[in-house]
Amino acid sequence: MPFRGSSKPLGLAILMGRPSEVMTPMPGSSDPLDKIAPALDDETFEGFASADYGLVAIAFHAGPSVICQLFMPTIKSLADEFLGQIRFFRVEVDDAPKTSVGLNIGAVPLLLLMRGGREVERIMGVFTKEEMRDKLVRRLLSP
């Protein structure tokens, strides 16, 4: 899945350290969330997982789930709020079955926090924006 300004797939753009390529969706993308929390699939997640962006938040969700539909606006709002501090991505579990099984994603919605390619916390379920913000700030401040 190449991004505007790049012929490289998302994972390669991340590995090559070109965040502008990562954060700019291709023309024709109808999802406004793509700009601040790009979608990853099995192929792009492999390259992403080995990159180091400091604290990264990955929202695992299932499109048709009503609970997930409640979760995603909070993720968008937090991605806007923490822009430049925490990198947000999202994974539709049906589009990334290998990744979901490999990370033992048994239920959604789930916000997976990673640092240096390693999991540091799982925030499972729907929380208020304030509760999620507190968890993110705590992780942002911890080494």
Work out the pLDDT band at 31, boundaries 50, 70, 90.
Answer: low
Average predicted confidence (pLDDT) for the chain:
78
How do residues 88-113 score in pLDDT, each as one tens digit? 999 999 999 999 999 999 999 999 99
pLDDT band at residue 63 under the 50/70/90 scheme: confident
CA 45 to chain centre: 10
Higher pLDDT, 79 or 32: 79
pTM given for the model: 0.75
Cα separation, 91 vs 135, whole angstroms? 20
DSSP secondary structure, 7-68, as one string: SSBHHHHHHTT-HHHHHSPPTT---THHHHS-EE-HHHHHHHHT---SEEEEEEE-TT-HHH
Whole-number percent of the chain with pLDDT over 90: 50
